[in-house]
Amino acid sequence: MVWTTYKEKVKRLSKRMVEAQRPIRVLDAIKWDHAVEQHLRKHRFREMPKIGPEYYAGIPLGFEPDGKIEELEALIGDIDLELGAGDQLGELLKRITREYADVVRMLECRGTRRFWEYSRKLYGSPKDTMFDEKNTISELGRLLYSILGGIEDATLGGEHPQDIEADEAVRILNERFLEYFGSGVVEARISDGILADAAAGGDVVKIKQGSKFSMRDVDILEVHEGWVHVGTTQNGQHQHVARWLAKGSPRVSATQEGLAVIMEIFTFRSYPKRARHINDRILSIDKVEDGANLLEIIEFYRTEGYSEDDCIANAMRVFRGGVAEGGAPFTKDISYCRGFIEDYNFLRAAIRAGKPFLIPFLFTGKLHVDDVPLLYQKHKEGIVDAPMFIPPQFRDLNGVAVWMSFSSFLNLVDLKRIQEHYNKLFKDHL
């Protein structure tokens, strides 16, 4: 037998993981076709479409579930054999591989309550507590709802009309991606097969045919889809050993979406309506867990002032893969707010601990925020490469360091008393 180094073993196992997960495409396996939307409109949102296990049986997975689980379980055993039981990097690789196996099990259960049980295990639930084990994600959602709902967009600045056609948005984004990534690395292109207005792939940002954008929307797409989602994929693909970092298991969703939201905020490109859209997803998932059905969630979005198209699209995000009658949603969309809190707290903790050098490694690839210290250690051992594409705010950390320093102190301030003081002044003078 030929002797192999630790790096060679990790590289070989990493390649096997990438290949094993390749045919697993969650969103493709649970998407609804146009007939569902047509049914809802035809019946004026008064009759439920029939979407159960039989419906999803008509959507091929692209792999044989039992065989795929066996392949993943064999990989878990080989990680132990190759790297040794208890190896820190091996434990991380096994955890990721187990998640892929659970994704397969989740997809086997499309249209049933079991789908939601796996979704909750993989992506979490609005009823989960944050790291402090006191505050739940749904409580965060309700607080943000009360604050954001009291902000009138018209009082915040100029108007931002959505008058940019999809083709023009693509042109603008490609100019910016050329500047950020260099020639021939990342491109934007038109797509008619996505639910959202935009979606990120390995080296492409897809823009939905027929959508219209404001310049502010285009600015957000640049940093959210480009700098974060495609950028971290590119950093993962440039790994010479740790190639698994180019692919994201469910555990990385919160960190990824949290980073994307942070970049929107750090670049001052976000706005209250955008934040409300993200937050309303938490509220709708929470409602579905409590039993709300598809028609009730559409009506919730209608009550919040969404267009009919957006009501349908947002409701589809929540129910795809689960049970349209309620009680079993797809919970992935809690990742945005949950991830923002987790990532922001990591930034603060790293600055307070005097370890700012860890922060750029959030962009190393598709990872969970808790993986960063281990990945940095493996970087020093020559196993993990430093990220190639890093947003300017994280290449020069001076601004982040000051921001996080003040943020740490603000936690000690009694916000309730401050609010009472200013509420009195507002009442007396406005």
**Amino acid sitting at position 356:** P
On the question of pLDDT at 239 being above 90, the answer is yes
The residue with tokens 């000051």 is 402
* For range 253-277, the mean pLDDT: 95
pTM, rounded to two decimals: 0.93
The residue with tokens 């949102």 is 45
* For range 256-273, the mean pLDDT: 95
Decide which of 222 and 416 is more confident.
222
The residue with tokens 């919970």 is 331
On the question of pLDDT at 219 being above 90, the answer is yes
pLDDT given at position 196 = 78
pLDDT given at position 3 = 79
Surface-to-core class of residue 128, CB atoms within 10 Å of its CB (0-12 exposed, 13-18 middle, 19+ buried): middle
Closest by CA position to 17, among listed 247, 319, 266: 247
Residue 181 — very low, low, confident or very high, per pLDDT cuts 50/70/90? very high
Give yes or no for a contact between 264 and 224, defined as CB atoms under 8 angstroms apart.
Answer: yes
Q: What are phi and psi of 77, to 5 degrees?
A: -65, -40
Q: What Å distances lie between residue 4 and 1, 83, 91, CA to CA?
A: 9, 11, 20
On the question of pLDDT at 142 being above 70, the answer is yes
* Residue percentage of the chain with pLDDT more than 90: 84
* Residue percentage of the chain with pLDDT more than 70: 100
Mean pLDDT of the chain: 94
pLDDT tens by residue, 26-39: 999 999 999 999 99
On the question of pLDDT at 195 being above 80, the answer is no
* For range 162-186, the mean pLDDT: 95
pLDDT given at position 1 = 64
Closest by CA position to 122, among listed 107, 135, 136: 107
Distance of alpha carbon 372 from alpha carbon 361, whole angstroms: 6
pLDDT tens by residue, 146-157: 999 888 777 787
pLDDT tens by residue, 60-86: 999 999 999 999 999 999 999 999 989
What's the CA angle centered on 321, arms 17 and 232, to 5 degrees?
40
Residue 323 — very low, low, confident or very high, per pLDDT cuts 50/70/90? very high
* For range 270-286, the mean pLDDT: 94
On the question of pLDDT at 231 being above 70, the answer is yes
In angstroms and rounded to an integer, the radius of gyration of the C-alpha atoms of the chain is 22
* For range 280-294, the mean pLDDT: 98
Element (H, E) at 333: none
Q: Which fold has domain 157-266?
A: Zincin-like (3.30.2010)
